[in-house]
């Protein structure tokens, strides 16, 4: 699997690397890729890698109707077939979800303008009157797209192929497992390759799993109540839920946050909600930086990057998103630790190093599996099997190897490493 992953990087234009003697470079050795291509009688080039991946059924070749040329797709035929069925399933599921009744409070997905698949949102909901402490009347709601139909339902007990619930057929066990296997093989999305992105899953699947404006989206939410004076968390829990969310770019969110409340072109409700979200997150993050050396180091590093970068600096909207994801990860980690449950984490990115947990399931396989563990232990299970320590360790180690291969590729492209 590791050789195939490196072969995919080569097919998308990444450099082929040999063993490096540079101590600063991440571990890298693509000798296995070169030998595999040689055995198949193919050159160590992007085209050679593409041909090998098609021969090995990792990628597929589709004949274009309008020409004699074949189009190479970075997915197996089996994955593409399951993806097509998933699109039908997702459309039917969203139609059923659209009929759900209930009170939906304001949420926002804040991302870059070109973001295609949104997987996180932040919002508020009123605190029950008899549980209000001090002056804070709201709970923060940080939500992550629910991907358990791919990562979990195929393993739930009592689910047969085509089993129906509420008039909606569940995603078939076979298709769920095919898509999960494809995500496991890809491990994480890459957007920095010369020939284009390599997504974790086929784009139609990511679209079906993403948080979309106007839809009632299935999510896993951290519900957090914060003391306005101290910034401490008074109580918190995680739950599976539905949200309606407004999509905003960082620029749009910054415009709202910077406007005066009496400016008529800004919705007073949107302005008040975003202001409250930003204020509560800042209060929590400030006390965390004071008390945690890890948080202080991370903040210092980010500030240093802001000062040194001529093209990018964190805006208030960036800090809102960063803090909301930090909060979700902090709560999930704390609650899982209290349950003494194993978790899937990238090696070297544990809570003690400021790493996040389960916040990017549309980009990283390990985050989808961490979400699966969160649902099985903290959200009532939903028929999803709890993972063992050995299963979590195997996922973490595999993810670490692919991350090292990506880091080595980036190091080489920046001009580092003499022998890579």
Residue 361 pLDDT > 50, yes or no? Answer: yes
Residue 112 pLDDT > 70, yes or no? Answer: yes
Which one has a higher pLDDT value, 349 or 120? 120
What tokens does 351 get? 């809570």
pLDDT at 354: 61
pLDDT digits (tens, 9 = 90+) for 241-265: 999 999 999 999 999 998 865 554 5
What tokens does 23 get? 């101590």
Residue 420 pLDDT > 70, yes or no? Answer: no
Contact criterion met (CB below 8 Å) for 145 and 362: yes
pLDDT digits (tens, 9 = 90+) for 328-345: 999 999 999 999 999 998
pTM for this one?
Answer: 0.88
Contact criterion met (CB below 8 Å) for 148 and 382: yes
Residue 138 pLDDT > 90, yes or no? Answer: yes
Residue 290 pLDDT > 90, yes or no? Answer: no
- For the chain, the average pLDDT equals 85
Q: Give the residue carrying structure tokens 């990087």.
A: 9
Q: Compute the average pLDDT of residues 69-82.
A: 91
Residue 418 pLDDT > 70, yes or no? Answer: no
Residue 296 pLDDT > 60, yes or no? Answer: yes
Residue 80 pLDDT > 50, yes or no? Answer: yes
Using alpha carbons, select from 220, 223, 224 the residue that is nearest to residue 370: 220
In whole angstroms, what is the distance from residue 16 CA to residue 30 CA?
A: 6
pLDDT at 166: 41
pLDDT at 162: 39
Residues sharing a CB contact under 8 Å with residue 51, sequence separation 6 or more, in sequence order: 40, 42
Residue 21 pLDDT > 50, yes or no? Answer: no
What Rg value do the Cα atoms of the chain yield, rounded?
23
Residue 59 phi/psi, 5-degree rounding, is -115, 175
Residue 382 pLDDT > 80, yes or no? Answer: no
Q: Compute the average pLDDT of residues 112-134.
A: 93
3-class DSSP state of 40:
coil
* Positions of E strands within 227-324: 233-243, 246-249
pLDDT at 183: 95
Using alpha carbons, select from 330, 328, 368, 264 the residue that is nearest to residue 123: 328
How much of the chain exceeds pLDDT 70, in percent?
A: 83
In whole angstroms, what is the distance from residue 376 CA to residue 339 CA?
A: 12
Within 10 A of 171 (CB to CB), how many other CB atoms are there?
26
Residue 282 pLDDT > 60, yes or no? Answer: yes
pLDDT band at 351 (very low <50, low <70, confident <90, very high): low
For every residue of 83-140, DSSP letters joined together read HHHHHHHHHHHHHHHTT--S----EEEEE-TT--S--EEEEEEEPPGGG--TT--EEE
Sign of CA dihedral 312, 317, 321, 327: positive
pLDDT band at 30 (very low <50, low <70, confident <90, very high): confident
How much of the chain exceeds pLDDT 90, in percent?
A: 62
For every residue of 301-314, DSSP letters joined together read HHHHHHHH-SS---
């Amino acid at each position: 699997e590791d050789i195939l992953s490196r072969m995919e990087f080569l097919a998308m234009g990444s450099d082929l690397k040999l063993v490096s003697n540079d101590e600063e470079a991440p571990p890298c050795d693509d000798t296995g890729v070169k030998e595999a291509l040689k055995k198949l009688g193919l050159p160590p080039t992007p085209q050679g890698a593409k041909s090998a991946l098609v021969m090995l059924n990792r990628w597929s070749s589709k004949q274009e109707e309008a020409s004699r040329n074949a189009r190479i797709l970075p997915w197996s035929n089996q994955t593409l077939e399951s993806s097509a069925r998933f699109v039908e399933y997702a459309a039917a599921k969203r139609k059923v979800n659209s009929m759900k009744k209930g009170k939906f409070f304001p949420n926002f997905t804040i991302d870059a303008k070109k973001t295609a698949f949104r997987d996180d949102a932040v919002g508020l909901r009123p605190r029950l009157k008899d549980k209000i402490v001090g002056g804070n009347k709201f709970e923060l709601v940080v939500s992550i797209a629910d991907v358990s139909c791919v990562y979990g339902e195929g393993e739930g007990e009592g689910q047969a192929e085509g089993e129906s619930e509420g008039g909606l057929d569940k995603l078939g066990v076979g298709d769920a497992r095919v898509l999960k296997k494809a995500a496991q093989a890809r491990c994480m999305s890459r957007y920095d390759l010369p020939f284009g992105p390599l997504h974790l899953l086929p784009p139609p699947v990511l679209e079906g799993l993403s948080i979309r404006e106007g839809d009632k989206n299935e999510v896993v939410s951290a519900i957090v109540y914060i003391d306005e004076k101290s910034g401490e968390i008074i109580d918190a829990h995680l739950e599976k839920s539905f949200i309606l969310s407004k999509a905003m770019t960082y620029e749009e969110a910054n415009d709202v946050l910077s406007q005066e409340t009496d400016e008529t072109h800004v919705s007073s409700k949107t302005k008040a909600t975003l202001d409250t979200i930003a204020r509560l997150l800042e209060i929590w993050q400030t006390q965390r930086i004071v008390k945690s050396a890890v948080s202080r180091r991370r903040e210092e590093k980010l500030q240093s990057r802001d000062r040194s970068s001529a093209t990018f600096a964190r805006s208030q909207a960036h800090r809102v998103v960063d803090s909301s994801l930090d909060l979700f990860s902090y709560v999930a980690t704390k609650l899982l630790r209290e349950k003494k449950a194993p978790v899937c984490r990238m090696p070297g990115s544990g809570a003690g190093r400021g790493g996040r947990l389960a916040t990017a399931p549309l980009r990283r396989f390990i985050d989808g599996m961490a979400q699966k563990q969160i649902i099985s232990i903290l959200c009532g299970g939903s028929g999803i099997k709890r993972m063992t320590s050995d299963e979590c360790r195997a996922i973490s180690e595999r993810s670490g190897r692919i991350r090292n291969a990506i880091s080595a590729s980036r190091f080489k492209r920046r001009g580092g490493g003499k022998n890579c």
